[in-house]
Every structure is written in C-alpha cells, then in structure tokens.
Amino acid sequence: MKKQSGFTLIELVVAMAVLGLIMGAMVHLFGSSVTSLHVGARQEVVYEEARLLMNELKTTLRYADKDSIDPEQPTVSTSKFSYKGNLWDRHMDIAQGTNKEYKVTVEWKDDTKKQLQVTREDITDGSKKITVFPNDSNNSIFEGKFPVTSETLTLNDGNTVIMYKIALPLQYEFNGQMKTQTLETKVVPSEEEEKETIEERIYKSYHLLLSIADKKASGTALTSSEQVEYNKFENYYISKGIANIDYCISNNDKLRTYILETKFNGTWPAKTINGVDVYMQPYCDINSKPATNNVFVFGSTSVMNESSNKNWNANYIYDYERKIWNTGNTIMIANKSLEKIKSEMNSKGWTNAK
C-alpha cells in the first residue's frame, strides 16, 4: 500500500501559530493607521477652529474703534473684553457692499475658564454669531489665562500706542502622547482719523462726550481714553472760570461749545452738498434716553457758533449708519429724539443728497 502524504499535527499547529502572529501584526498595524488617521483628523479640526477664530479676532480688532475697547489694557486675569468697529460686509461685490457696525465680546464660556466664547453682534440688524473655542473642552489648555493681553509701545515720535496680543493654545493626542501648540498674533487698531470724514469726526467727538456723561451720572468707571478726554474737558472749563464740571458735562450747549472750540477752532466745518455750502454740527436731545442713541449731525446754510442765536431748523441730516446725507423740507430738530426726526424726514419725503 502506498503511503499518503500530508501535514502532521505538529506542522499544522506551527503553521497556525505563525499565521496568527502575522495576522496579529497586520491587525495592529491597520488599527494604528486608523487611530493615527482619526487623531490627525481631530488635530486638523482643532487647528482649523483656532485659525478661524484667530482671523476673526485679528480682523475685527484691527478695525475697532479705539474708544470702544473695554478694558483698554486687558491682562491674563481679565474675564471679559469687548470692542466695536466697522467692516465692509462684502469683499467681492463692492457695488452691493456697505459698512456694517459690529460689536465683539470675548469672554469665558463658564467659570471653569477652559473654553472661550466670542460673540459678534451686527448692530445694524441685531444678528449674532457665537463661537466657542475649543469646541471640546478636553482640548483646552487655557489654564484660566485670558487669551487677549496688551502692551504699550513708544513710537519714534514719542507717542504711544497699545498693541494687543492674541494667543490661542490648543492640544491634541498624537501617537499616544499629548501635543500642544499656540497660535499667536499681534494687532494695533488702525488710526482712523485720517480716513474719517468730517461728519464722522463731529459725530464721534459728540458721542464720546455723551458716553462720558452717562458713565459719570451712573458712577461707571471711565476707560483710560475716556478719562483723558474728560480731563481735557474739565481743564477747558476750569480755564474759563467754571468749576461745576458735573453741570457742564450734562449740558448740551457746554458739550457743543467744547467740541466747537477745541476740535474745530470756533467755526463749524462746511461741506458742499448739492452745490450748497452746508455748515455741519452735532445735536442730541439729552432728555431722550439713552442720549448716545440720539446723536446725529445736521447741516445749516448759515455760519453758526454757540454765542450767536441758534437756529435749529435743518434741511440736511447725516445718516451715520449709511454714510450719506439726506435733504428735504425744513425740520425743527430742537428737543426731538432721532426716531422722531427720522419719522418727520420720511413723512416729508426727504431724499439722499449728493
């Protein structure tokens, strides 16, 4: 009888053991690859979160109104930081774009101080966009240190500017180990005075004083820039022999006189609108609260200073939000809220001026 060939039991056991080792190694290798892929994906997500938020903060702070920054000099112990500014809302379609006013608030999401919450509010329509960073608190390494801080720089001309540093730390797991990374940038809010129109300068000068008046009345602390302006205001009236500064800061005529004399050399500036020389000046019915919501610039065809008889009849009113002048039949603006004046402009068919 011919002997049959085959594998012995020992050979089969050895073969199966070798095959098991090979398969185990392949499974381990495949599993490690999948894990690395997932970790890499999470890393990209966290990094992208940080990059987008960094860009948002850098851009909006770059175009922020310096007087609106609160606190003006944040530190690592700061818990809330806010500012206002204006940005063009369309970059690809200039003809359809417009400047939109925004407010950004940067604060801790909760008392753990592990996640940052950034709220960007469109002041024009009231819409809000809220961003939380990082989305997963396990990726946070903030350690309670606020990510926006400041430092004062002295320029070659002796003037100083405040530079803001934004630091967004993040962490992720890579090959079983925790890795850390921090995205950093520095920004100085733009000097807008050279780019501002004369209408905007008038509006902002008056709005700032009204904001100071509101804070003084409520006992709210002034920002450092507001304090500087208040000191100038106080010194101006002390030099005029007036000691009751609380009265001056709450009086419409005193506010306008200060702006007229210190900002515009005693004569309200003029601009040609529809071929007519129009003298521009600010107004607000202080009794309409909040007063800062009732500030506007109007135009008169006659030169007017604070010592002459005042004429509160207006044929030109500047729309600060849309950056255009409106004109129409005469409106008496004295002691009227901005809402009331806009209603009269609409009923009298006012149109855009050129």
The pLDDT assigned to 4 comes to 53
Max CA separation in the chain (angstroms): 137
Question: Are 49 and 57 a contacting pair, CB within 8 Å?
Answer: no
The answer, yes or no, to whether residue 40 has pLDDT greater than 50, is: no
- The domain total for the chain is 2
With respect to residue 32, please indicate whether it lies within any of the assigned structural domains.
Answer: no
Q: How many Å apart are CA 251 and CA 234, to the nearest integer?
A: 13
pLDDT tens column, 186-228: 999 875 444 578 888 899 899 999 999 999 989 988 877 788 8
pLDDT tens column, 255-286: 999 999 998 888 888 888 888 888 899 999 88
Question: Are 213 and 249 a contacting pair, CB within 8 Å?
Answer: yes
Q: Which long-range contacts (CB under 8 A, 24 or more apart) does 9-12 make?
A: none
Backbone φ and ψ for 270, nearest 5 degrees, come out as -115, 155
Q: What's the pLDDT band for 112 if we cut at 50, 70, 90?
A: very high
- Cα torsion for 245, 248, 250, 256, to the nearest 10°? -140
- Of the candidates 242, 195, 220, which has an alpha carbon nearest to the alpha carbon of residue 85? 195
Q: What is the share, in percent, of the chain residues with pLDDT greater than 70? A: 81
With respect to residue 53, please indicate whether it lies within any of the assigned structural domains.
Answer: yes
With respect to residue 332, please indicate whether it lies within any of the assigned structural domains.
Answer: yes
Looking at the structure, tell me whether residues 205 and 176 fall in a common domain: no
Q: What is 278-301 written as a DSSP string?
A: EEEEEE--TTSSSGGGG-EEEEES
Looking at the structure, tell me whether residues 114 and 220 fall in a common domain: no
Residue at a domain's end among 127, 154, 187: 187
Query: Which residues span the domain enclosing 169?
Result: 39-61+69-187
With respect to residue 192, please indicate whether it lies within any of the assigned structural domains.
Answer: no
With respect to residue 23, please indicate whether it lies within any of the assigned structural domains.
Answer: no
The pLDDT assigned to 33 comes to 47
Instruction: Return the CATH number at 275.
Output: 3.30.1690.20
With respect to residue 207, please indicate whether it lies within any of the assigned structural domains.
Answer: yes
Residue at a domain's end among 164, 187, 210: 187
With respect to residue 268, please indicate whether it lies within any of the assigned structural domains.
Answer: yes
Which pair of tokens denotes residue 128? Answer: 């809000």
Q: What's the pLDDT band for 45 if we cut at 50, 70, 90?
A: confident
Looking only at the bridges linking them, the beta strands covering 160-174 and 270-273 are: unpaired
Looking at the structure, tell me whether residues 164 and 240 fall in a common domain: no
The answer, yes or no, to whether residue 76 has pLDDT greater than 70, is: yes
Residue at a domain's end among 158, 187, 216: 187
Looking at the structure, tell me whether residues 77 and 218 fall in a common domain: no
- Of the candidates 158, 161, 255, which has an alpha carbon nearest to the alpha carbon of residue 202? 255
Looking at the structure, tell me whether residues 214 and 86 fall in a common domain: no
Looking at the structure, tell me whether residues 209 and 340 fall in a common domain: yes
With respect to residue 182, please indicate whether it lies within any of the assigned structural domains.
Answer: yes
The pLDDT assigned to 41 comes to 40
The pLDDT assigned to 138 comes to 80
The pLDDT assigned to 340 comes to 92
pLDDT tens column, 118-147: 999 988 778 899 999 998 888 888 989 999
Looking at the structure, tell me whether residues 246 and 127 fall in a common domain: no
Classify residue 265 as left (phi > 0), alpha (psi -120 to 50) or beta. Answer: left
Looking at the structure, tell me whether residues 120 and 161 fall in a common domain: yes
The answer, yes or no, to whether residue 297 has pLDDT greater than 90, is: yes
The pLDDT assigned to 133 comes to 93
CA 320 from chain centre, in angstroms, equals 17
Looking at the structure, tell me whether residues 235 and 176 fall in a common domain: no
Looking at the structure, tell me whether residues 54 and 165 fall in a common domain: yes
Looking at the structure, tell me whether residues 346 and 301 fall in a common domain: yes
The pLDDT assigned to 35 comes to 46
Looking at the structure, tell me whether residues 215 and 258 fall in a common domain: yes
